[in-house]
Amino acid sequence: MLLSRSPLQRLLSFLIIGVTSGLTTPLSLHSKRQTATSCTNPVIRREWRELSDSEKQEYHRAVICLKTRPARHYSNIPVVKTRADDFTWMHREVSDLVHEVAAFLPFHRLFLQLWEDALRSECGYTGYAPYWDWTIDADRRAIPQSPIWDSVNGFGGNGIPTGNSTRGFQWCVPDGPYANITLTIGGTYPDFAIDEDNSNTSSDVSSTYQKRRTEEYAQLPVLGLHSGLAAEDLRNKGQYGS
């Protein structure tokens, strides 16, 4: 008799088979515990504002490189066209298992490392994956001025309406390094009965609310267990999750 795999088993399959092709050493599910050692040359990942203009452009170049290389492992999926799509699809497929739960941090640490490795080994990127400290821009008055939206060294503006009602394809970025790039994988989250409007949220309210939800979700192993919390949010806050 065939037994269906658990969600966590499927997650491991996606992680190991789907995006680890760039690794020279295969991952093992049962590795012997090693003695902790000090890292002599730690990688430093910098906030986007700390990069020079040339470093920002180099990161964009590497990302676009992955967008032009063919998919390696999910090419049998019609919407997966590029190497970058491999990552997008895998993240989409396991999204219900790795968000708002205790697995969030370890999963995304590994995911980010694999993404960074692909940029470096497949596209000649010499830097390390930057990050956006969105707490700097969390206040609604600061978001429009964030350098993330810069049309030259950032990721382009907030987009213009396309007239396409398909979730994930309603807006088009007309400027910046990713202009004219066609996406084939759209959004994954459904519309909810009560729309959420974050444009009027102050940084203080957002950080306090998110801290409380993070503490609650960190105790839950899988997404399904937090449905009660999410339902409570819908009733009391008129919005979903955080």
What are the CB-based long-range contacts (under 8 Å, 24+) for 87-92?
87/19, 87/111, 87/114, 87/115, 87/118, 88/185, 89/18, 89/185, 90/14, 90/15, 90/18, 90/19, 92/185, 92/188
Task: Give the pLDDT of residue 96.
Answer: 83
What number of residues does the chain have? 242
State the average pLDDT for the chain.
Answer: 74
Expressed in angstroms, the distance from the first to the final Cα of the chain is: 41
Task: Parse the chain into domains and list their residue ranges.
Answer: 46-144+183-236
Amino acid identity at 12 = L
Task: Give the pLDDT of residue 32.
Answer: 63
- For domain 46-144+183-236, the CATH class is mainly alpha
- Which pLDDT band holds residue 237 (cuts at 50, 70, 90)? very low
* Res. 219: pLDDT tops 80: no
- Of 34-43, 89-98, 221-230, give the range with the top mean pLDDT: 89-98
Task: Give the pLDDT of residue 221.
Answer: 53
20 DSSP 8-state letter: -
CA distance 215 to 206: 14
Task: Give the pLDDT of residue 1.
Answer: 42
Percent of the chain with pLDDT over 90: 35
CA distance 88 to 91: 5
Task: Give the pLDDT of residue 182.
Answer: 80
Q: Mean pLDDT across the stretch 135-141? A: 85
Q: Mean pLDDT across the stretch 80-103? A: 90
* Res. 202: pLDDT tops 60: no
**Contact between 239 and 24 (Cβ < 8 Å):** no
